[in-house]
Amino acid sequence: MSVRATDRILVNGKLITIGAAIADQFSDGDRIVASTDGQLMLIPKTEIDIVGQVVELSRRAFSLLQSASDDQISTFFRLFADRLADDVLMAEVMVANENDVEQAKQRGRSTTRLGLTPSMRKDMIDALGLWQDMVAVQDHVAHIEHSGWSVEARQCALGLVGFVFEGRPNVLADATGVIRSRNTCVFRIGSDAYNTAEALMRVAVHPALIEAGLPEHCVMLLPSITHASAWALFSNDGIALAVARGSGASVALLGNIAQQHGIPVSLHGTGGAWAVISQFDDLAGLENIILNSLDRKVCNTLNTIVILEKVACEVISALFKGIGKSGLRNGVRPIVHISSNVEQQLVHLGIDLADVSSGVVVEITDELDLSKEWEWETTPEVTLVITENIASAVELFNMHSPQFVLSVLSVQQDEHEHAWSTSNAPFFGNGMTRWVDGQYALNKPELGLSNWQLGRALGRGGILSGDSVYTIRYRMTQIDTTVKR
């Protein structure tokens, strides 16, 4: 089969012309996939074949895993954790990780969460300990009794989970959590962390699976770092659930591909938390909340602050002190972004920025994109907005945020209730934003955090964990053979 640059394919009801670049590269067995906005991508046959082989092995492992005991699964998590804690065994992994970090630096890539530090290893070990000790997932959901027969609803494993993760070593331990509910997984990790992941599989994961008596292919690393391999994985109909974590644009694209191929998705991309500040009598506490929401840049880091006009004069100083303290850890001056309109509002309220912004850089622009997520390494960045009341603050959140984390800092309970009932936020609180984390909040290692940009999640919360990957099956028992409809 061949394609020509004049050929067109149907995407979301529109005919898209295949460009010369794709047409010239296309060979027999290749596949063309598209995003919902009409972007075309070529998947070479070599990547399709690699993914197909790995998926087939994982699906066979899924069948075998259903007969494994809970004790075997617990043993796997214990053995995996023991190997991570063994400095002698981990020496090979640490060398691979040091090489990954160095290569990433040479490419100008961020290494903030790439290094396999002692704290990261401890977090991975702790997460595996939680899975080890977790009570097996209860399979009995409901029992409906009829005359002469009955129906049971039972929670069962979903199948093969396909992961595409950013370049972070710890996500490998996260992914194995699906084994607790008897799912298998195939994951493709970002190129920055590939060598570390491959070493972890060889040194810790596979030996632990084999020693625990579980199928070796329960957990598989896709042996490819190309973008096309991720597209091939998320267009393979052997996947029961597609999970993507990373930058907003790449996660959205992967989600498009999976959904077009009928694969359910769990997307974890764009982040950035919002806080609304109203009357808050404990100004020292306000400083702490702001400070502890800006400790480092992750998806639940405070990104946008909305101050209600009525309290601006009372809280502005404490707010800037909290922001300023967040930079002291790294010896930097944090950045606060405001629009020229906000600057005028502050002047109208009699607030002199020079008086309150000591240690903070204030950047003023004519137009400020409230949907922008600030991606910082060591210098915290936030957006500051002033609005009239809680209703207008929630309206700004619903319109411009990723519909993710909302914190309302107020002593007025009616403001909390209004924001809770009218905001489209899966995560809502009255303090720091960094509580949004599966392991921290629920004592469950998380596979990712979902925002609601693409709609509310059906039948589950925004924290995806290993024990929340399941389906419901129905089992009928008939005792009266004369029963008929």
247: Cα within 13 Å, side-chain hemisphere = 9
Residue type (1 letter), 384: L
When mean pLDDT is compared across 140-154, 283-297, 445-459, the lowest value belongs to 445-459
State residue 113's pLDDT score: 84
Residue 132 and residue 195 in contact, taking contact as beta carbons nearer than 8 Å: no
Per-residue pLDDT of 295-345, as tens digits, reads 999 999 999 999 999 999 999 999 999 999 999 988 999 999 999 999 999
State residue 348's pLDDT score: 93
Residue 131 and residue 182 in contact, taking contact as beta carbons nearer than 8 Å: no
Q: Which of 212, 216, 193 is nearest to 116 (CA)?
A: 193
Confidence band for 427, pLDDT divided at 50, 70 and 90: very high
Global pTM value: 0.87
For residue 13, is it left (φ>0), alpha (ψ between -120 and 50) or beta? left
Per-residue pLDDT of 215-245, as tens digits, reads 999 999 999 999 999 999 999 999 999 999 8
Per-residue pLDDT of 356-374, as tens digits, reads 988 999 999 998 999 999 9
State residue 11's pLDDT score: 67
Q: Which of 257, 107, 295, 256 is nearest to 193 (CA)?
A: 107
State residue 129's pLDDT score: 93
State residue 24's pLDDT score: 75
Tokens for 203, please give them: 């040194």
Report how far Cα 386 is from the mean position of its chain's Cα atoms: 30
Tokens for 16, please give them: 């898209």
The runs of H, that is alpha helices, within 279-311 are 283-292
State residue 12's pLDDT score: 67
Q: What is the DSSP string of 178-198?
A: GGGGT-EEEEEE-GGGHHHHH
Residues 434-445, mean pLDDT to the nearest whole number: 89
Q: Which of 426, 422, 372, 392 is nearest to 276 (CA)?
A: 392
Per-residue pLDDT of 98-126, as tens digits, reads 999 999 999 988 888 899 999 999 999 99
Mean pLDDT of the chain: 92
The runs of H, that is alpha helices, within 66-111 are 70-85, 87-106
Q: Domains in the chain and their CATH numbers?
A: 8-43 (no CATH), 47-270+461-473 (3.40.605.10), 273-442 (3.40.309.10)
Per-residue pLDDT of 33-50, as tens digits, reads 877 777 888 889 999 999
Q: What share of the chain is helix, strand, coil (3-state, %, to 5)?
A: 45, 20, 35
